[in-house]
Amino acid sequence: MKRKAFIQTKQCVACGCCMKVCPRSAITIPNGVSAQVDLQRCVGCGKCAAACPASIIELSEVSNETQTLV
């Protein structure tokens, strides 16, 4: 099992703080609406969660094969 970052997109204001600190460039803000995580790139380091001023990013365990929440 690996940890991955998940963003509560309805509460995201697209400030970009998470995107700036991600060492793998796994976070994007398509159309400036809300941040999204590329689960293939995310290594679960938690830097985005620590940087988020709204505290809406959490790390969750995911299945290795399917990349889905467990």
Q: Where are the domains of the chain?
A: 2-62
Q: Give the predicted TM-score (pTM) of the model.
A: 0.86
Residue of 50, 60, 42, 41 whose CA lies nearest to 17: 50
Q: What is the pLDDT of residues 10-65, one digit of tens each?
A: 999 999 999 999 999 999 999 999 999 999 999 999 999 999 999 999 999 988 65
Q: Report pLDDT for 67.
A: 56
* 66 contacts: CB under 8 Å, gap ≥ 6: none
Residue of 13, 22, 14 whose CA lies nearest to 5: 22
Rounded Cα–Cα distance for residues 55 and 12 (Å): 9
Rounded Cα–Cα distance for residues 65 and 67 (Å): 6
Amino acid at 33: V
* CATH dotted code for 2-62: 3.30.70.20
